[in-house]
């Protein structure tokens, strides 16, 4: 900047010199004398200009130094503020990272617990799936399906009736083995319950791919059930030995509902044949009624014994009443004795009062009483 200023000043001096020379040439004075004077003036002007340039240079240096100091201080202040801001940001980031790490660890812990719960639920679902598959295998086999129905029937009967009221796998006079026999008195007599229900057609109906196949399986279910009803009526209804009716236990509420909802001909045949269809729910209700009947029969069987016991109890009551009357007589005699004692006590109290109120005159000789004598105060 200073170099440029000097160059401008030099150009100004050269221009001034040219102007002076031209001016001097236009005048009449001596050229040499005027040139010298002009050069002197030019030199003086140059020196003055150099002095001003030095002053300006010094001011420029001072300004540059002040500017440098100001910039340095501003830079230091800015650096300090930046460092403080960076420290604050670092501290805040550290706290945030710590909080984030804590929250993340907590979330991971909760997530781990939930995953454990999900694993347990998944394991439970897997176990249930295996059980369902095993149950499906049970229902696929005819003999296993019969055993499954027998076990379910046995549990219901054992829970509902006393041991003396039923029997399992009872052999009848026609050499047929009944799954369960409910021992009821005549009438109606023992009732046979069969648990071997045909489920093959029903399982096939559930697995059918189209309506035609489903209808065919439903028809087969109706046919199999009707045949089973006839077999039960033929095998387990024996005149003079069993009741005139029997029960066919269906170990599935769904099959029971299917028959009553879509196969009325099967239900009608069961009523005509007196082979009544029962599900686990209706079986429990039926056995509850049977238990009430057995209790009533038991009460009738014990009626004579109850009458004898009541007669003995009445005799005991009569004997107790006689003893109460005797005790009442004793109480009456004791009451009379107490009244007599109270009268005697009142007389004694009265005589004592009279003795206390008796006044003897002075000089009157005291009367002595002979033994056994008393004053007559009456």
What tens digit of pLDDT does each residue of 311-370 get? Answer: 888 888 888 888 888 888 888 888 888 888 888 888 888 887 878 776 544 444 444 444
Residue 21 counted as domain residue? yes
Enclosing domain of residue 52: 2-93
The tokens describing 334, both together, are 């004791």
Distances (CA, A) of 307 to 292, 304, 315: 22, 5, 12
| Residue pointed to by tokens 């039926």 | 286
Q: State whether 78 and 212 are in the same domain.
A: no
**Contact status, residue 245 vs residue 190, Cβ threshold 8 Å:** no
The whole-model pTM stands at 0.45
Ramachandran bin of 11, using left for φ above 0, alpha for ψ from -120 to 50, beta for the remaining angles? alpha
Give the end of a domain, one of 270, 285, 306: 306
What's the structural domain count of the chain? 2
Q: How do the pLDDT tens digits run along the chain, 378 residues long?
A: 555 555 555 556 555 555 555 555 555 445 566 667 767 776 777 677 777 777 777 777 788 778 888 888 878 888 888 888 888 877 877 777 777 778 888 888 887 788 888 878 877 787 766 555 444 544 455 555 556 678 888 888 888 888 888 888 888 888 888 888 888 887 778 889 888 877 788 888 888 888 888 889 888 888 988 999 999 898 888 888 888 889 998 888 888 888 888 888 988 998 998 998 988 888 888 888 888 888 877 777 777 777 788 888 888 888 888 888 888 888 888 888 888 888 888 888 888 787 877 654 444 444 444 445 554 444
Q: What's the pLDDT score for residue 134?
A: 46
With respect to residue 227, please indicate whether it lies within any of the assigned structural domains: yes
Res 10: pLDDT: 58
User: What spatial distance separates the first Cα and last Cα of the chain, rounded to whole Å?
Assistant: 168
Q: CATH number of the domain at 189, please.
A: 3.40.1350
Contacts of 286 (CB under 8 A, 6+ apart): 247, 278
Structure-block tokens of residue 168:
């399992």
Whole-number average pLDDT of the chain: 77
Q: Is residue 120 part of a domain?
A: no
Q: How many CA atoms lie within 13 A of 343 on its CB side?
A: 5
């Amino acid at each position: 900047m200073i170099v440029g200023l000097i160059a401008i000043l030099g150009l100004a001096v050269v221009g001034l010199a040219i102007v002076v020379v031209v001016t001097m040439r236009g005048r009449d004075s001596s050229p040499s004398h005027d040139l010298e004077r002009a050069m002197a003036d030019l030199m003086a002007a140059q020196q003055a200009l150099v002095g001003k340039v030095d002053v300006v240079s010094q001011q420029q240096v001072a300004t540059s130094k002040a500017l440098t100091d100001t910039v340095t201080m501003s830079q230091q202040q800015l650096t300090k503020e930046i460092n403080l801001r960076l420290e604050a940001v670092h501290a805040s980031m550290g706290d945030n990272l710590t909080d984030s790490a804590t929250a993340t660890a907590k979330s991971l812990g909760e997530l781990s617990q939930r995953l454990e719960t999900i694993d347990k639920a998944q394991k439970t679902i897997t176990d249930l799936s295996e059980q369902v598959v095993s149950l499906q295998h049970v229902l696929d086999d005819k003999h296993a399906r019969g055993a499954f129905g027998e076990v379910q029937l046995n549990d219901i009967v054992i829970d509902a009736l006393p041991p003396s009221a039923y029997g399992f796998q009872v052999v009848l006079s026609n050499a047929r083995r009944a799954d369960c026999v409910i021992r009821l008195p005549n009438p109606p007599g023992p009732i046979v319950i069969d648990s071997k229900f045909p489920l093959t057609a029903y399982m096939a109906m559930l697995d059918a791919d189209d309506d035609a196949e489903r209808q065919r399986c439903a028809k087969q279910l109706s046919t199999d059930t009707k045949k089973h009803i006839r077999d039960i009526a033929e095998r387990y209804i024996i005149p003079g030995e069993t009741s005139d009716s029997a029960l066919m236990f269906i170990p599935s509420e769904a099959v029971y509902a299917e028959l009553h909802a879509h196969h009325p001909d099967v239900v009608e045949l069961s009523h005509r044949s007196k082979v009544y269809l029962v599900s686990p729910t209706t079986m429990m209700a039926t056995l509850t009624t049977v238990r009430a009947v057995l209790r009533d029969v038991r009460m009738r069987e014990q009626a004579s014994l109850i009458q004898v016991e009541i007669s003995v109890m009445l005799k005991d009551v009569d004997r107790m009443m006689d003893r109460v009357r005797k005790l009442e007589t004793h109480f009456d005699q004791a009451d009379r004795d107490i009244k007599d004692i109270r009268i005697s006590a009142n007389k004694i109290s009265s005589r004592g009062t009279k003795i206390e109120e008796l006044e003897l005159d002075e000089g009157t000789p005291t009367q002595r009483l002979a033994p056994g004598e008393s004053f007559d105060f009456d």
